A and B are shown apart, each in its own frame.
Chain A
Amino acid sequence: MSSHYEAPVRKPLVLGDKSYGDISNDIARPVETPPNTDWWIAFSIAMVAFLWGLGCMAYTIGTGIGTWGLNKTVGWAWDITNFVWWVGIGHAGTLISAVLLLFRQKWRMGINRSAEAMTIFSVIQAGLFPIIHMGRPWLAYWLFPIPNQFGSLWVNFNSPLLWDVFAISTYLTVSLVFWWTGLLPDFAMIRDRAVKPWRKNIYSLLSFGWSGRAKDWQRFEEVSLVLAGLATPLVLSVHTIVSFDFATSVIPGWHTTIFPPYFVAGAIFSGFAMVQTLLIIMRKVSRLESYITIQHIEMMNIVIMITGSIVGCAYITELFIAWYSGVEYEQYAFLNRATGPYWWAYFLMMSCNVVSPQIMWVKKIRTNIIVSFVISIVVNVGMWFERFVIIVTSLHRDYLPSSWTMFSPTFIDIGIFIGTIGFFFVLFLLYARSFPVVAQAEIKSILKSSGENYKKLRDK
């Protein structure tokens, strides 16, 4: 017992009187029991939204990008907003599993699996938008530097859009192997307790024959650590490069050096908010309150509050620098954002992202589940509007007042966005019923140091 000492000020991360076997039972339960009516209702709604989105995508591809609300002045609006929003949401997963692993934060273990799942599912949604916007999505492989029959026709490695292709592909695939490697012991746990042959076969396949030898575990831990070390700069680079899509242009409002850190903070902010939204529901539905505790919710709220404040600082710095630069185009871009025809979007962005998380300074509020849930949704709305404000307000009034215009989405634009939300939830709901949603092997390794029953035993 003495080797499992943990300072008594640390609150337990596994509540209740749990043994190793109890943990297996609790994590395997959602996989082994049939879903209830609520799950089917949620799944049906998500599926309908997804199908609607698919229809809108098919219409876009069949008819052309003219079906969107874009025009000569605003050539980039709803699609890129959604792309950046989804990529941003995708940042929390790797942040939780990689950065918190490097910092040895044990509370990551209750939430990292679902956060990584969410990362992968949201990066898939993000990837859809540039592919649809190509107009001819079957030529998407032209994004890669493949020798071809068009003479010396190569992709342009000077372009931030191509950097994005490499960054997002690397991020998606590395997150996927990170997730899957962590899943192997947990799939093996479900495989070895499966009674039905079909379930045993499926989880045998998924677990890649994981046996849990001492040498496997030694390598597993080393691989997790090194992957975390690789994924940490990777996650920061991905949103940095997404911000380069804007920052390397010469559009007033986009051409700012603060964009990389500001985008990364915003991505973590929105990602944690989405994790919060999903896990507050999941812990209740899958009865995981012992593993995803109020303390986990509080920790995430603290991260949301801090990153929200960083984003707030960035908004104000931008305004100051625009004024201080003395460039009138730059000044007008920001004045127009705050007071122009899109003032309401700017106001939503400011109030949702900067003001609303500040209530988390009060401990009573940040440990309240309902408030946390509401704030997490408010933050995601705010972060969508942040991208909308940055993109549309910078474009819609350009250098030539005769070409000033407004952007309004068509129902196709809105339909594709709703479709990606539906697709995301379809994937997440399927995941919640078929995957071990908590990294149970890792939880078992901290049970003796951070389990409530063991802590009590030590206190005696």
Chain B
Amino acid sequence: MSLKRLHVLFDDDDILLDAVKEIVKSKIYIHEVYTPFPVHGLDKAMKLKPTKISVATFIYGCIGFTVSILMMNYIMIVDWPQDIGGKPSFSYIENMPAFVPIMFELTVFFAAHLMVITFYLRSKLWPFKEAENPDPSTTDDKFLIDMNSGSNLSKTKSMLKKMGAISIKEVKE
């Protein structure tokens, strides 16, 4: 018994969502689902783990905050302390109010950019990267499930037909 791989097209997000739930229930492995827009509830239906990118972003923000403090402390306090307008800069904490804007900006700068870079790398997005959606209509108005056929191909096919699939294509592994 050889497992086949199927590309199943749908033309509606609600039908797709029900189909995914059904497929998961019948314990057939789904490799990937391609959709033209975010279908809400799809990640839960596919049992995808929640993304941890916001945790990473928090850490990136902390790094930015630390970098800004270290940088300004070295430049303004350690390397060349100056007396500007009668306000000598011999202590970081006493001069801190003037440094708040840049502490904030660098926190945001690091958090935002490193988050986006992480997202691009994790989702394999960069210039000259070839797109991987098997059917070009999945960026327009179609939804594609890339799945295993299960042990009984004809049974799976008839189940998918009943759920509203508009085309089922067998593809090589």
User: At the interface, yes or no: B35 with Cβ under 8 Å from chain A?
Assistant: yes
Q: What 0/1 readout, one digit per residue, does chain A (224-250) give for beta carbons within 8 Å of chain B? A: 001100110110010001001000000
CB distance from B71 to the nearest CB of A (A): 7
**Contact residues in A for B101 (Cβ distance below 8 Å):** 160, 163, 166-167, 237, 241, 244
CB distance from B4 to the nearest CB of A (A): 21
> Which one of A46-54, A60-68, A169-177 is at the B interface?
A169-177
| Cβ contact within 8 Å between A204 and B37 | no
A156 to B72 CA separation, bound complex (whole angstroms) = 9
> Which one of B21-29, B47-55, B160-168 is at the A interface?
B47-55
**A152-B80, A170-B105, A219-B123 are known contacts. Are A212 and B112 too (CB-CB below 8 A)?**
no
Nearest-neighbor residue (CB-CB) of B73 within chain A = A157
| Cβ contact within 8 Å between B131 and A188 | yes
**Contact residues in B for A181 (Cβ distance below 8 Å):** 116, 119
8 Å CB interface, A142-186 against B: 145, 152-158, 160, 162-163, 166-167, 169-170, 173-174, 177-178, 181, 184-185
Pick from A3, A189, A223: contact of B139, CB below 8 A: A189
| Cβ contact within 8 Å between A211 and B131 | yes
CB distance from A280 to the nearest CB of B (A): 27
| Cβ contact within 8 Å between A158 and B108 | no
| Cβ contact within 8 Å between A441 and B84 | no
Pick from B32, B111, B128: contact of A205, CB below 8 A: B128
Nearest-neighbor residue (CB-CB) of A2 within chain B = B14
User: At the interface, yes or no: A125 with Cβ under 8 Å from chain B?
Assistant: no
Q: What 0/1 readout, one digit per residue, does chain B (31-59) give for beta carbons within 8 Å of chain A? A: 01111111111110010101101100100
User: At the interface, yes or no: A20 with Cβ under 8 Å from chain B?
Assistant: yes
Among B14, B36, B126, max chain A CB count under 10 A is at B36
8 Å CB interface, B70-122 against A: 71-72, 75-76, 79-80, 82, 84, 87, 89, 95, 98-99, 101-102, 104-106, 108-109, 111-113, 115-116, 119-120, 122
User: At the interface, yes or no: A33 with Cβ under 8 Å from chain B?
Assistant: no
**Contact residues in A for B38 (Cβ distance below 8 Å):** 217-218, 220-221, 441, 445
**A237-B101, A241-B101 are known contacts. Are A185 and B37 too (CB-CB below 8 A)?**
yes
CB distance from B85 to the nearest CB of A (A): 8
**A189-B140, A204-B130 are known contacts. Are A177 and B116 too (CB-CB below 8 A)?**
yes
**A152-B79, A209-B131 are known contacts. Are A223 and B115 too (CB-CB below 8 A)?**
yes
Nearest-neighbor residue (CB-CB) of A248 within chain B = B98
| Cβ contact within 8 Å between B112 and A177 | yes
Tally of chain A residues near chain B (CB < 8 A):
66
Pick from B32, B109, B126: contact of A214, CB below 8 A: B32
**Contact residues in A for B43 (Cβ distance below 8 Å):** 214-215, 217-218
| Besides A158-B84, A163-B105, A217-B42, 18 new A-B residue pairs in contact (Cβ under 8 A), listed by A number | A20-B37, A156-B82, A157-B72, A157-B75, A157-B99, A177-B113, A185-B37, A192-B140, A205-B128, A207-B131, A214-B33, A214-B43, A215-B48, A217-B39, A218-B50, A218-B51, A219-B51, A233-B108
- 5 A-B Cβ contacts within 8 A? A155-B75, A177-B112, A215-B51, A216-B123, A217-B39
Give residues in B with beta carbon < 8 Å to A.
13-14, 32-43, 46, 48, 50-51, 53-54, 57, 71-72, 75-76, 79-80, 82, 84, 87, 89, 95, 98-99, 101-102, 104-106, 108-109, 111-113, 115-116, 119-120, 122-133, 136-141
